[in-house]
Amino acid sequence: MSVKLAEYAMCDKEYDKRYLKKINVSLLLSNFAEQYNRMYKKFLRPVLFKFDPEKVHYFSFKMIKTAHKLGLGSVIKSMYKLEDKQLEREVFGLKFKNPVGLAAGFDKDARLYSELSNFGFGFIEIGTLTPKPQPGNPKKRLFRLKKDKAIINRMGFNNGGVDEAVKRLRKNKNVLIGGNIGKNKTTPNEDAASDYLYSFKALFDHVDYFVVNVSSPNTPNLRALQEKEPLKKLLNALMEKNRERVHKAKPILLKIAPDLNNDQLLDIIEIIESTGIAGVIATNTTLDRTGLNSVQKNEQGGLSGKPLRKRATEVIRFLATHSKTKFPIVGVGGIHSAQDAVEKLEAGASLVQLYTGFIYEGPALIKQINKYLLKQIS
Ligand X SMILES: Cc1cc2nc3c(=O)[nH]c(=O)nc-3n(C[C@H](O)[C@H](O)[C@H](O)COP(=O)(O)O)c2cc1C
Query: Which amino acids are annotated catalytic?
Result: 216
Are 173 and 217 in contact by the 8 Å Cβ rule? The answer is no
Count, residues near ligand X per rule CB under 6 A: 28
Shortest gap between Cβ of 183 and ligand X (angstroms)? 12
- 175 part of the interface to ligand X, by CB under 6 A: no
Shortest gap between Cβ of 369 and ligand X (angstroms)? 12
Q: Crossing angle of helices 338-347/309-322, nearest 10°?
A: 20
Among 199, 356, 368, 370, binds ligand X (CB under 6 A): 356
Residues composing the chain: 378
> 242 or 285: whose CB is closer to ligand X?
285
Shortest gap between Cβ of 72 and ligand X (angstroms)? 26
Strand pairing of 302-305 and 329-332?
unpaired
- 180 part of the interface to ligand X, by CB under 6 A: yes
Beta carbons within 8 Å of 328's beta carbon, 6+ residues apart: 91, 92, 278, 279, 280, 350, 351
- 104 part of the interface to ligand X, by CB under 6 A: yes
Which span (99-107, 245-253, 261-269, 361-369) binds ligand X, by CB under 6 A?
Answer: 99-107
Site for ligand X in 244-263 (CB under 6 A): 255
Are 146 and 209 in contact by the 8 Å Cβ rule? The answer is no
> What residue is closest to ligand X based on CB?
105
| Per-residue mark of binding to ligand X, 41-80 (x: CB under 6 A) | ----------------------------------------
Q: Report the Cα 11 to chain-centroid distance in Å.
A: 45
Which span (37-45, 102-110, 114-122, 290-298) binds ligand X, by CB under 6 A?
Answer: 102-110
| Per-residue mark of binding to ligand X, 208-247 (x: CB under 6 A) | -----x--x-------------------------------
221: left (phi over 0), alpha (psi -120 to 50) or beta: left
- 332 part of the interface to ligand X, by CB under 6 A: yes
Which span (89-97, 151-159, 184-192, 314-322) binds ligand X, by CB under 6 A?
Answer: 151-159
Are 132 and 195 in contact by the 8 Å Cβ rule? The answer is no
What number of other Cβ atoms are within 10 A of residue 70's Cβ? 9
Interface residues toward ligand X, by CB under 6 A: 103-105, 108, 127-128, 142, 151, 153, 155, 157, 180, 213, 216, 255, 284-285, 304-305, 308, 332-335, 354-357
